[in-house]
Amino acid sequence: MSSVVAIEHVEPVSGRSSVVRSLHRRPLVVVAVAFVAALVLVSLIAPWLAPYDPRAQDLSNALGGPTSHHLLGTDSLGRDVLSKILYGGRRSLLSIAEGVVVVLTLGVPLGLIAGYRGGWTDQALGRLAEVLLAVPAIIFVLVVLAVAPHNEDVAMVTFGVLGVPVMFRVVRGASLRVREDLYVSAARISGLSHPRIMVRHVLPRVKGPIIVQATLFAAYALLFETGLAYLGLTSDAGTPTWGGMVGEASAVIEQQRWLLVPPGVVIALTILAFAVIGDATRDALSERTQSSRASSRGRPTLSTPAPSHAGRHAGDVQLLAVDNLRVVLPDDRGEVPVVDSVSLSVAAGETVGLVGESGSGKTVTALALLRLLPPALRMSSGSVCVEGVDVSSMSERAFDRLRGSTLAYISQEPQSALDPTFTLGSQLVEVVRRHEEASRPKARRRALELLGMVELPDPERVARSRAHELSGGMAQRVAIAIALAGRPKLLIADEPTTALDVTVQAEILALLKRIQRETHMGLLLITHNWGVVADSCDRTMVMYAGQIVEESPSQDLFDRPRHPYTLGLLNSHPAMARAGAALTTMQGGVPSPGSWPTGCRFASRCRFVASECTGHAIPLTQQSTHRSTRCVRTAEIFGEVHA
């Protein structure tokens, strides 16, 4: 007997029409519902359907296999198995109904009250549920059957009561989430009585989980009922029951094994039917709560690169050269671009900033370079060259060796970037030993050296601690130490200071600068903080809606922006504002992937927008040796460039 405890994960829901519709699309569910309905009907009319009296013995014909007279054979007393199955379903279905009714009449109202009211009612009921769940249900029912022998109704009601806690928790959880919904609050404010709100407004929203839980409970109730019948604790010997038939079959298992089959199959099919209905309802509900997400994996498929700007820095081999990178989100209708024709390069010792509002595609660009895109995203074209070698067609295994040793990465949230369960020392030692042949003690010395290098005051102590024991700033230092362990040539830092206090921000930036000076590594610094750019970056790329819209040496960018978006960003930053001038803000937000216009993607927010800005894609045009911008009106707005 499985425990009743295991099923509690149900998503909240609302409405039902689309749930019903999506259930219809699953043929298995239709079959399952039909099966249960047929079972109920057959049990009701069993006296008219059954070819024999299920108690009629015929010893001369005992243990006969299936024949044309006895389609499912006869048992050890010569009784017709088919007739016994038909009659046996009556008791089982009645028992299921008793259990389900108890679970519904107690579990649903109590769950609604606990979830809707909260407070001490909730706590007291929760405790009670906990106690009831602590002991295997079957043993409680045995106590009952010892006092009230063969009383199956009492047994099933008890089983129902023991199933209440699970239903209670499901309904409580679901109504807890509904409680704060606007229309429920509105109903409360408009003075509707609490019971009325619960029945009229909360109950319909939690109906889905209730159905799921009730069907699954029905499956368990049948398992339970047949088990008791198998043990002979519920019915007297003559009454046909499915579980009792399995018990009788087990006594003659060496003479006629066939007898196990009919009751076993009908029990299994009935349980399966309930389980299929419950599972499908749950799936249909969770499909509605989460938007369908297409996922596709695999190596990026590469198309021939379009004409590009790769030749700009011809001559010297760049540490990193990205050309025409495109990242897409595959979905039902095709591919939604998320990052589009991004080209960038970083030289050894250089710091390049990647700037833009949230949602502009900076992080996706960084993850694509490292081949660490989430499974839903795919790099569809473009090339990535590391030290002059095209790595985009490199095998996963070969690329694995680049990570940590050539390319390293630190992320925005330092604490969640560290494994919570291992000590920081052991994480660091593992990374060190991945990149160099070192004995454990030697790797440990190197780990402590790295912790010292990132200016942590007490490396020994830090090595012994775990991520949750450190402050954000300290955790970020450890993350930097881990990134440096393989002596990388390029560090990609995704907003490394955003989650930190302002004073700590400056320290971390100073640390990165110092390390860069010492190791001459390249740094791709993703940020939306102009202060960071002014402080650290030699060159800066501005990203908007998946594209680079301006590229420039940082100082020139501040002095003479050549794209209206850059100008807007600069003007809305307090530190950059000119004294006396009003601080402006940009209206609206970055359009999300899938809703990008054909023309200039910034057009809807641009105060210089003109007719030529919309209608066709705007190319990134070179303004001077080191500057380019994606704006057709640059000259009109900002004047000619004086290179």
Partner 1 sequence: MVRLLLRRLAASVPLLLVVCSTTFFLAALIPGDLARTILGPNASQDQYLALRDQLGLNKPLTERYWAWLTDALHGNLGQSLFNQEPVTSLLDTRLPTTLSLVVGATILAAVLGVGLGIASARSAGMLGRVVDALALVGLALPNFFLGLLLVSWFAVSLQLLPATGYVPFTQSPGGWTKSLILPVVTLALPGVAVVAKQTRDSMKDVSRQPFVRTLRASGISRRSITFKHVLRSAAIPVVTVIGLVFVGALSGTVLVESVFAMPGLGGLAVQATANHDLPLIQGVVVYFTVIVIAVNVLVDIAYGALDPRVRVS
Footprint on residues 468-527 left by partner 1 (CB under 8 A): 468, 479, 482-483, 485-486
Binding to partner 1 (CB under 8 A) within 84-103 occurs at none
Binding residue for partner 1 (CB under 8 A) from 97, 231, 609, 617? 231
How far apart are CB 145 and partner 1 at their closest, in Å?
5
Q: Are strands 490-494 and 407-410 parallel, antiparallel or unpaired?
A: parallel
| Total site size for partner 1, rule CB under 8 A | 83
Pick the closest to residue 32 from 288, 219, 223 (CA basis): 219
How far apart are CB 572 and partner 1 at their closest, in Å?
29
Closer of 233 and 600 to partner 1 (Cβ):
233
Long-range contacts of residues 357-360, Cβ cutoff 8 Å, at least 24 apart: 357/528, 357/544, 357/569, 357/589, 357/590, 358/528, 358/590, 359/589, 359/590, 359/592, 360/543, 360/544, 360/545, 360/546, 360/590
The CA-CA-CA angle for residues 27, 30, 36, to 5°, reads 140
Pick the closest to residue 136 from 111, 158, 119 (CA basis): 158
Question: Mapping DSSP to helix (H, G, I), strand (E, B) and coil, where does residue 554 land?
Answer: helix
Binding residue for partner 1 (CB under 8 A) from 249, 322, 328, 541? 249
Q: How far apart are CA 541 and CA 547, in angstroms?
A: 10
* Residue 35 interacting with partner 1 (CB under 8 A): no
Q: Are strands 351-355 and 539-544 parallel, antiparallel or unpaired?
A: parallel
**For residue 213, what are its two tokens?**
């839980």
Binding to partner 1 (CB under 8 A) within 269-298 occurs at 269, 271-272, 275
Stretch that binds partner 1, among 127-135, 282-290, 525-533, 546-554 (CB under 8 A): 127-135
Q: How far apart are CA 373 and CA 377, in angstroms?
A: 6
* Residue 137 interacting with partner 1 (CB under 8 A): yes
Q: By rule CB under 8 A, what string of x and - marks binding of each residue 410-429 to partner 1?
A: xx-x--xxxxxxx-------
Phi, psi of 201, rounded to the nearest 5 degrees:
-110, -35
Closer of 320 and 485 to partner 1 (Cβ):
485
* Residue 147 interacting with partner 1 (CB under 8 A): yes
**For residue 437, what are its two tokens?**
């042949």
Binding residue for partner 1 (CB under 8 A) from 164, 221, 431, 586? 431
Stretch that binds partner 1, among 45-53, 447-455, 462-470, 495-503 (CB under 8 A): 462-470
* Residue 330 interacting with partner 1 (CB under 8 A): no
Contact 641, 623 (CB under 8 A): yes
Binding residue for partner 1 (CB under 8 A) from 34, 124, 135, 306? 135
Q: How far apart are CA 531 and CA 5, in angstroms?
A: 55
How far apart are CB 270 and partner 1 at their closest, in Å?
9
Pick the closest to residue 209 from 103, 129, 126 (CA basis): 103
* Residue 401 interacting with partner 1 (CB under 8 A): yes
Closer of 406 and 634 to partner 1 (Cβ):
406
* Cross-sheet strand order for the sheet of 334-346: 334-346, 320-331, 378-386, 389-390
* Residue 235 interacting with partner 1 (CB under 8 A): no
Stretch that binds partner 1, among 28-36, 115-123, 247-255, 317-325 (CB under 8 A): 247-255
Angle between helices 27-44 and 17-24 (to 10 degrees): 90
Binding to partner 1 (CB under 8 A) within 350-389 occurs at 367, 370, 372, 374
Closer of 131 and 314 to partner 1 (Cβ):
131
Stretch that binds partner 1, among 18-26, 260-268, 549-557, 566-574 (CB under 8 A): 260-268
How far apart are CB 409 and partner 1 at their closest, in Å?
4
What dihedral do alpha carbons 28, 31, 33, 37 form, nearest 10°? -170
How far apart are CB 232 and partner 1 at their closest, in Å?
8
How far apart are CB 80 and partner 1 at their closest, in Å?
21
Binding to partner 1 (CB under 8 A) within 593-632 occurs at none
At 385, the amino acid letter reads C
User: Tokens 């920081």 label which residue?
Assistant: 424
Closer of 136 and 305 to partner 1 (Cβ):
136
**For residue 561, what are its two tokens?**
């922006």
Binding residue for partner 1 (CB under 8 A) from 434, 513, 560, 605? 434
Closer of 435 and 445 to partner 1 (Cβ):
435
Query: What end-to-end distance do the CA atoms of the chain give, in Å?
Result: 82
* Residue 5 interacting with partner 1 (CB under 8 A): yes
